Amino acid sequence: MTRRLLFAVFSCLFVLPLAAVPNRLSLSDFTVHSDNPKYKYIGKGISEMISVELGKSSGIELIEREKRAEILEEMELSLADFANSEVQLKVGEMLAVNYVVAGEIVDMDKKVLISLRMIDVESGKIVWNEQLAEKLTRYERISGFFASSILDFFSVEVSETTIVKVREVEEKTEEAVVSFSEAVNHFDNREITQAKKELSRAKRVDPKNDAVEVYLWKLDSITPRFRVETEYFAPTSCPAYLGLINEDNIYTWQVIWVKPPNADDVQGQTIDGFYFKDYPKPMTFGYAFPIGNNLGLSVEYVGGRLERMVGAPFSFDLLGSTETEFAADLDYNYGGSLAIGYRLRDNFSLGASFRATYSEKYKGGGSTNPMEEGFWYVVGAGLVFLGLDNKLVVDTQVSWASQADWYVNTDLKEAVEGIRPLSVDTSIGYSLLDKKLTLSLRTIEDIFIDKRKGIAIRAVPVVEYWLFPFISARLGYENSHLFQNDRYSMGHGFLSGVTVKIWRFELSSNFTLRKKPTSMVPGYLIYDSKVLFGFSFNPGLLGR
């Protein structure tokens, strides 16, 4: 009795789950018979479009193209060799798939004849075949038709969007499928820049194509979606990214402050008898666009307000008068920035930026404000490196602002006009699980180059996961270290955020709660809490 019970338990734990494992399937690139040079790679494109439709259903397990290419590389073969039936079966065995789908595309002038067959890897027999003569401009119906037929063979439910593609025969331009097919070929050859260029072209003529979106997602670089903040004294993002963009982009970043812990009703914080308010409130609106094959530019409007105030537990000298507090508020800031990026190689780009802003000092409140009105500027430079088939991204930028930075010298008991610290912003990101998971580390160093002397270091490790191709969630931890004024301070914080992609729109939102260095009294960290919103739109007006 006991043995029977144990056998029943093991059957439930092991046998039944194995029976529920979906059928493993691999698609080969289809052989093309055509004298039209534009059709050279449509066997790759049509195969991948069908794969994308199959991937919408959970009843089968589809082997990714990259995994198939990896096995072929181990066999010292190419994807072109996968057209051979013997190679298909051998690769199928190595991939542990049940079935391999192969086929041919014959150009019949006004239509293409597509013939596909499914081979049982274990027996080598053809267990399914289907044929369709259709205009190439109806590639959506082609992919939907074959995907539906394959899923019907497995008695698997077909996605509603796939059914719609078969039912609603939509006529489109063949430029989209041709560009997409060429992009897949560049993808196979690890020519990332060319692949992105063809995908951008395909997206312009067919903005809602699912396969194009999937590949754009695969090739998407790890960009600063997890921004900690829009820096008041630094460029919005590393200008070197401009050398890598393939289409134009309209974007904006906005900060909304949240009352930090231990703050009073006006967000002031008291630490060791000092009273702090240090809240940059920047806003950026910009347009980035590619020029030629290697150059990218961005033009930004920058504005906002800088709300800064400090009160000391002792009296100090400020421009000849005795005070216990002063403000360094700036109101009605407006200006612009110009940034340029140049791609030296497919995986390496340099950039530089210049920003000029006119500021008026805030005249409200009762605190003395030593800030001068007028123009100030920010200069920056950076680089971006892509590696490991675009899975690794490293960027860094250095920026410096000419604006005055007033602070209280606690030793001399006087307010002193200092210089903004040099800012170094570096991030390293690596993607896993076919770009679904990204591990990133961002470091921001403020190097004080005036009499304050010291360095503030922030380390922000972040994990981002794409729940679906159109939405991601991220979570990060922040650790701050301040070495200044013979004093060491350490703080902690966290970051959480989401990114949502809809058609050509992208919305990113990050919430941060952390301790940051305040330059108004050397050696002190204060709480910082805010929500950062970023919104972008790709109009498709300019592309490489």
What one-character-per-residue DSSP string does 199-231 give? HHHHHHH-TT-HHHHHHHHHH----GGG-S---
Q: What is the pLDDT of residue 36?
A: 93
Distances in whole angstroms, Cα of residue 171 to Cα of each of 138, 168, 204, 218, 398: 5, 10, 16, 27, 50
* Topology given in CATH for the domain delimited by 22-218: Rossmann fold (3.40.50)
CB 176 within 8 A of CB 202: yes
pLDDT in tens, 444-494: 899 998 888 899 999 999 999 988 878 889 999 999 999 987 889 999 999
Listing DSSP states for 122-185 in one string gives: TT--EEEEEEEEE-GGGHHHHHHHHHHHHHHHTT-PPPHHHHHHHHS-----HHHHHHHHHHHH
CB 195 within 8 A of CB 215: yes
d(CA 233, CA 516): 15
d(CA 433, CA 66): 11
Q: What is the pLDDT of residue 65?
A: 79
What are residue 87's phi and psi, to 5 degrees? -65, -40
CB 465 within 8 A of CB 436: yes
What are residue 206's phi and psi, to 5 degrees? -140, 80
d(CA 42, CA 198): 13
Q: What is the pLDDT of residue 286?
A: 93
Strand (E) positions, 22-125? 23-27, 31-33, 60-62, 99-108, 111-120
**Angle at the Cα of 178 (from 172 to 180), degrees rounded to 5?**
95
Side-chain-side CA neighbours of residue 307 (13 Å): 12
Q: What is the pLDDT of residue 365?
A: 66
Q: What is the pLDDT of residue 91?
A: 67
220-537: in CATH 2.40.160.60 = yes
DSSP-based three-state secondary structure for 34: coil
d(CA 418, CA 139): 64
Q: What is the pLDDT of residue 17?
A: 40
DSSP-based three-state secondary structure for 57: coil
516, two tokens? 């940051």
d(CA 219, CA 245): 12
CB 122 within 8 A of CB 38: no
Residue ranges, CATH 3.40.50.10070, the chain: 22-218
> Within 10 Å of residue 529's Cβ, how many Cβ atoms?
17
Element (H, E) at 17: helix 16-20
d(CA 210, CA 203): 10
Distances in whole angstroms, Cα of residue 243 to Cα of each of 22, 253, 341, 451, 541: 43, 21, 4, 37, 17
Residues with pLDDT less than 70, the chain? 1-22, 72-89, 91-92, 220-233, 364-366, 434
Q: Tell how strand 249-257 and strand 524-537 pair up.
A: antiparallel
Measured between its terminal Cα atoms, the distance across the chain in Å is 73
Nearest CA to 161 among 140, 182, 134, 190?
140
What secondary structure letter does DSSP report for 243?
G
Element (H, E) at 10: helix 2-10
CB 313 within 8 A of CB 355: no
Residue ranges, CATH 2.40.160.60, the chain: 220-537
Q: Tell how strand 99-108 and strand 23-27 pair up.
A: parallel
